[in-house]
Chains A and B, each alone.
Chain A
Amino acid sequence: MSRFFEVVRRDLRLALRQGSDSLMVVTFFVLTVVLFPFGIGPEVGILERVSAGVLWVTALLASMLSLDRLFQADYEDGSLELLVLTPTSLMVVVMGKVLAHWLTTGLPLLVAAPILAVLLHMNSDGFTVLMLTMLLGTPVLSLIGAIGAALVLGARRGGVLVSLLILPLYVPVLIFGVGAIDAAVQGLSAEPHLLILGAMLAASLPLAPWATSAALRQALE
């Protein structure tokens, strides 16, 4: 367990000192969302209707931006070999890295989302549910993204490949994330959507690190 926190602490320290990655993710998120009112006009009705979808699609793309750095730097400087040779299950190391990735990318998205929701005139009934879907959904994005990031190690133009691999797997998160917010805005219960998002998190929590570990070992062969 202490190894897990050691990995988290190291990756947070690296992210903090390099700074650019998590800043880039939030900046992309904010800038892209801000562009929408310019693109589709300032009518409140339209913006309100698309707000949930815009926020979630943009969050999806933003979190994908940082994925290629998740293992690439460690792969290039030889750290990954030593991480794989750690005397513990590789899943512990992967979980530590994914948690650090979520703290530096998912969490800032979570904080920025309600502010941008105001900008898009989202109905205030949707705010709590928006936060809940982000809280449940963004860790799933990091977990699934880690599989893709590990699979494309060593490939040239990994960024393009990772989108092809990962985007289809992100779609369920998008559907139920937006579905929950729409339901809340229309006065229906968001609970079923949130439960399904929770189930996705519960399923990907053990499965994604397992698949990522296998992909990392493969990358070093």
Chain B
Amino acid sequence: MNTTESLPPFTGTALGCIRGGRAVFAGLDFSVAPGEALVLLGPNGSGKSTLLRVMAGLLKPTTGKLAWGETGLRDEPELHAARTHYVGHHDAVKPVLSVAENLRFWARLHEPHAGRAAGAVDNALARFGLAHLRDIPGKMLSAGQKRRTNLARLLAAPSPLWLLDEPTTALDRANIKVLENVFAEHRAAGGMVVLSTHQDVDLPGSRTLHLDEFAVFAEEDDQ
């Protein structure tokens, strides 16, 4: 992934978001450069998931702008999608497809040659300890195994920016360790990681963003 080193930083300026008539956050700035990690912290409902969905491009921010260097996200939505992996609350594992089929589909959809290239899918499965489950249908998997199948997408088709919404949910301590190592390697290769978490994930040298600092206090709503 040498190409990622020349990537401009991924930035957001003056972001604000209104959900269901309520301002979730306002005036939020962030910047992630290659090799960096950003941890989103804040109590429930402070907008961590919303911010990650905004970053992924699933939600449009009400105010403000996201950009890669000088290039706005709106101008190049497909480029942004190619550079980004989003891991949300749901694992997108089809019950009737095997683990390998699930992963191969997402890998090829993300990068049409990834599934065929040098067993990327098998490597990703092995890394997350799923090699022995590759032919097991998705409906047989435990919550943790489903989550690992979803996380294996990160490795099966490379992308520099990883957006993860509480990736450690349902993972045991050993697998969180695996995930931490995967993050470290990704950052060493010039990748970027943004994640929200309630558990301690060891990300050396990461920066934190406390979302409650950007909360909008709804005093005017009381009337």
Contact = CB atoms under 8 A, between A and B. Distances in A.
A78 B53 CA distance: 13
A31 interface: no
Interface string B78-122: 110110101011111110110001000110111110000000000
A107 B168 CA distance: 44
B140 interface: no
A153 to B, nearest CB: 14
A88 interface: yes
A69 interface: no
Contacts of A14: 94, 96-97
A interface bracket (residues with beta carbon within 8 Å of B)? 20 to 34
B104 to A, nearest CB: 9
Interface string A6-28: 11001001100110000000000
A40 B111 CA distance: 57
A115 interface: no
Interface string B54-92: 001111100000000000000000110110101011111
A160 interface: no
Interface in B36-68: 56-60
Interface residues of B, number: 28
A85 B57 contact: yes
Given A77-B90, A81-B92, A87 B110 contact: yes
A3 B112 contact: yes
Interface in A125-154: none
B90 A2 contact: no
B59 A221 contact: yes
B105 A6 contact: yes
From B78, B88, B90, B93, name the one whose CB has the most chain A CB atoms within 10 angstroms: B90
B78 A89 contact: yes
A86 interface: yes
A7 B96 contact: no
B58 A2 contact: no
A155 interface: no
Nearest to B93: A77
Contacts of B109: 3, 6-7, 82-83, 86
Contacts of A81: 58, 86, 88, 90, 92
A83 B86 CA distance: 11
A6 B108 contact: yes
Interface in A18-73: 18
Interface in B107-159: 108-112
A79 interface: yes
B105 A10 contact: yes
Nearest to B80: A87
A200 interface: no
A86 B96 CA distance: 22
Contacts of A83: 109
A183 interface: no
A2 B112 contact: yes
A167 to B, nearest CB: 31
Contacts of B90: 76-79, 81
A175 B1 CA distance: 57
Given A13-B97, A85-B86, A77 B91 contact: yes
Given A3-B108, A87-B111, 5 more contacts: A77-B91, A78-B92, A79-B94, A86-B81, A220-B58
Interface of B: 56-60, 78-79, 81-82, 84, 86, 88-94, 96-97, 101, 105-106, 108-112
Interface of A: 2-3, 6-7, 10, 13-14, 17-18, 76-79, 81-89, 220-221
5 contacts: A3-B109, A14-B94, A78-B89, A78-B92, A220-B59
8 cross-chain pairs, A with B, having the tightest CB-CB distances, nearest first: A78-B90, A87-B82, A87-B81, A17-B96, A79-B92, A78-B92, A2-B112, A10-B105
